[in-house]
Each structure stands twice: as C-alpha cells, then as structure tokens.
C-alpha cells in the first residue's frame, strides 16, 4: 500500500524540485524507493494470476527512474513528482499495450491501452479494427468496462477530426478508426490511494482492460 510518507515526499519534492533539496533528503528518498518497490511487487502478485503474459515481469520492468529527461523539454525541473507503474507483456521499452498506475497527490489514476503508437503500429491497429471492429465494439460495450472506464479517452490530440487516410467516412467503425491513441483511464481518489486495499481494488479495475489490451497486442504482433 502507498504510505502517507511517500505522498508527503512527492509533495515536498514538487515544492522543492531542485538537486540541493533532493540531495539533502536522501533518507526520505530511500523510504520512497522502498515503498515504490513494495507497491510494484504487490501489483505483480495481484496481476500475474489474472494475466499470465505478465509472468516474466520484475520491479525493474515496471518502474521508472525519478530523474526527468529534460534534454528536449522546456520544463527543466530535474525530478518526477509522481510514481508510475507500467505492466506490459513486452516490458516497458517495447511499444505494446499494457496496464498503468499513476500515483500523484490529487491526480492518481489507473488505466491502460496503447499510447501514441508509431505510424506503422497505428496502421496495424486500424487494420485490425477494419477486420474485427465488432469485437472491439463488444469490448467497449461490456458493462464492466463501461462501469469502470466509461469509454476510451478522447483528450485533445487523441482522435482525428475526419476519416483517416485509406478509410471511407462511411465505414461502420469510422469513429473507432479515428483514434490515434487507445487509452482508458479511471481516477483514483486520495481515500482509495491510501486504503489498505488500494492494490487489490485497483488491480480489479486494471484487469477489466485485459480484452482491450489483448485486441491491441494481437494487432501489433500479427504480421
């Protein structure tokens, strides 16, 4: 479970995002790292029996360094102020769909899917939708999916405004074919985040996405 100490460290780091403060608070950072590892291990223990494609995963496959990559960013703050957990069949350095947990004060969420695939990968997903759109429609219409996630996320930049190239605007699945990112997310309240059942309850939400993730990964791995 996530501790109040970890959340306080994240908040303090947000307010003091500089190397001097960070170096002066290594004891707190070590506590954070232990909580991070314990939380990832808890998620893997919950998720592996539910999705056997995750069986090979270890902490290093699901976690991220706290240092931000600022080489091409206007934001030069050096440290991340959230904890991210990524669970995916192909591990975190491959472009496959997977499950994600975002732990941040006041902005935590759980979800998964496929984020901003390369053009060649998006083409594969659209080809899969073209041939099997009724299957995807059934996944998104499932009562449990709708209860937890409602629908795929449609934030700005995630969906085309018109039909993609090579697809007629009258295609029966044209609204699905317009997606450029295939994500579903559900907010996690602060109360849920600090609950002793946080990992177990969140894992129940994540596994609802298994059919969607299987659909997307089938598209990406089928020649």
CB neighbour list of residue 138: distance below 8 Å, 6 or more residues apart: none
pLDDT tens by residue, 30-46? 999 999 999 999 999 99
How confident is the model over 130-159, as a mean pLDDT?
Answer: 97
From the list 136, 118, 132, the residue with the least C-alpha distance to 180 is: 118
Q: What is the DSSP letter of 165?
A: T
Q: Chain-wide mean pLDDT for the chain?
A: 95
Task: Look at residue 161 in the predicted model and tell me its pLDDT.
Answer: 93
Task: Look at residue 93 in the predicted model and tell me its pLDDT.
Answer: 59
Give the Cα-Cα-Cα angle 46, 50, 54 (nearest 5 degrees). Answer: 80
How confident is the model over 187-206, as a mean pLDDT?
Answer: 96
Residue 116 predicted with pLDDT over 80: yes
Residue 146, phi then psi, degrees to nearest 5: -65, -35
Residue 170, phi then psi, degrees to nearest 5: -95, 5
How confident is the model over 69-76, as a mean pLDDT?
Answer: 87
From the list 109, 190, 195, 196, the residue with the least C-alpha distance to 155 is: 109
Q: Please, where are the H alpha helices in 24-114? A: 26-47, 59-62
Indicate the pLDDT class of residue 91, thresholds 50, 70 and 90.
low
Residue 159, phi then psi, degrees to nearest 5: -135, 135
How confident is the model over 88-100, as a mean pLDDT?
Answer: 82
- Specify whether domain 4-221 bears CATH 1.10.3210: no
Report the C-alpha gap between 13 and 77 in whole angstroms: 10
Indicate the pLDDT class of residue 139, thresholds 50, 70 and 90.
very high
From the list 105, 61, 98, 99, the residue with the least C-alpha distance to 83 is: 105
How confident is the model over 8-30, as a mean pLDDT?
Answer: 96
Report the C-alpha gap between 82 and 66 in whole angstroms: 8
How confident is the model over 124-134, as a mean pLDDT?
Answer: 97
Q: Which residues of 170-197 are buried (b: 16+ CB within 10 A; e: fewer)?
A: ebebbebbbbbbbbbbbebeeebbebee
Task: Look at residue 70 in the predicted model and tell me its pLDDT.
Answer: 85
């Amino acid at each position: 479970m996530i501790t109040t100490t970890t959340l306080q460290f994240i908040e303090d780091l947000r307010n003091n995002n500089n190397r001097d403060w960070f170096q002066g608070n290594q004891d707190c950072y070590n506590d954070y790292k232990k909580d991070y590892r314990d939380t990832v291990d808890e998620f893997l223990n919950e998720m592996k029996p539910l999705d056997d494609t995750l069986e090979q995963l270890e902490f290093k496959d699901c976690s991220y360094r706290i240092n931000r990559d600022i080489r091409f960013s206007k934001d030069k703050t050096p440290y991340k102020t959230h904890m991210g957990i990524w669970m995916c069949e192909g591990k975190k350095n491959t472009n496959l769909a997977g499950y994600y947990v975002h732990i941040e004060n006041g902005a935590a969420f759980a979800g998964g899917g496929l984020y901003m695939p390369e053009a060649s990968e998006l083409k594969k997903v659209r080809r899969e939708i073209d041939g099997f759109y009724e299957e995807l429609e059934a996944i998104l219409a499932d009562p449990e999916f709708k209860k937890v996630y409602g629908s795929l996320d449609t934030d700005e930049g995630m969906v085309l405004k018109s039909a993609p190239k090579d697809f007629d605007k009258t295609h029966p699945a044209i609204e699905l074919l317009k997606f450029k990112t295939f994500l579903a997310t559900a907010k996690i309240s602060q109360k849920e985040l600090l609950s002793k059942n946080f990992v177990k309850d969140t894992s129940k939400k994540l596994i609802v996405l298994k059919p969607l993730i299987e659909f997307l990964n089938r598209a990406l791995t089928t020649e």
